[in-house]
Amino acid sequence: MQVFDTVTGLQTYLALHRASQTIGLVPTMGALHAGHLALVAQARTECSLVVASIFVNPTQFNNPDDLKHYPRTLEADLALLEAAGCHVVFAPTEAEMYACPPVLRLSFGELEQRLEGAHRPGHFNGVGLVVSKLFHQVQPQVAYFGQKDLQQCLVVQQLVQDLAFPLQLRRCPTVREADGLAMSSRNRRLGEAERQVAPRLHQSLQRVVQSAQQGAPVAQALAQARAWLEQSGAFSVEYLEVADTEQLRPVTQLTAGQTYAVLVAAQLGPVRLIDNLLFQAGA
């Protein structure tokens, strides 16, 4: 496995292989878990050269404390990637990625004005900046993202469409712990008591889906699930909504046969957790 911390080194190596290899990119912020490794595994089935990036991108953090405490485990990450069969790792410094403070502002319209965008102002501008840089630097034919960050997937899809990046996006299923908790690098910051109650986040989504599919009004399904989640006294819920799957517009009524997303974000101790499920409305 080749490891590079400079754009020049990375691009010099990739130039030798670009003509004969299909390049797949797995962007990460490190602190890797089985969810990331599933993306690498999917990339290996479709691409002959898999590149993983590890970069804690400061421009997408609107909370300085979250950036400060975001786990950084580079050596362990490299060992995991090598064992997973990753071919190339790009792990730049902040100075390498941002030689000068960026002044460009990216707007994703109404998609960034709700849910994560509403609660994390500027977050998707930072995501768009770093993903654009990585797409230019690596020039992959395929890029892999996890569905746990559904809104981010849709933002990147908009980015690719509007800027005509010549690549395909793969949205891979959320990988979960045995108790249903969506795998996240932030989970390692949960205390023992918090970790015990954390699966309720996923269970709240399941409750919304079950109620909605049984014919309960959307507002009622959401209110009951939110109340159940908050009964534990451990969660501070930022949002719990049912939305369409294209622009994440909130919906109040379901159409039979249509696919919807139910999304949640909540603070649990020192950690902000997000999750989502896709479901089809019943008859």
- Residue 60 burial (10 A CB sphere; 0-12, 13-18, 19+): buried
Name residue 239's beta-bridge partners. Answer: 265
CB 125 within 8 A of CB 105: yes
- How many residues in total does the chain contain? 283
**Cα dihedral: 235, 239, 242, 246 (round 10):** -130
Out of 33, 36, 69, 119, pick the active-site residue: 36
């190339």: which residue's tokens?
88
**Is 36 among the residues known to form the active site?**
yes
**SS3 assignment for the chain:** CEEECCHHHHHHHHHHHCCCCCEEEEEECCCCCHHHHHHHHHHHHHCCEEEEEECCCHHHCCCHHHHHHCCCCHHHHHHHHHHCCCCEEECCCHHHHCCCCCCCCCCCHHHHCCCHHHHCCCHHHHHHHHHHHHHHHHCCCEEEEEHHHHHHHHHHHHHHHHHCCCCEEEEECCCECCCCCECCHHHHHCCHHHHHHCCHHHHHHHHHHHHHHCCCCHHHHHHHHHHHHHCCCCEEEEEEEEECCCCCCECCCCCCCCEEEEEEEEEECCEEEEEEEEEECCC
Q: Which amino acids are annotated catalytic? A: 36
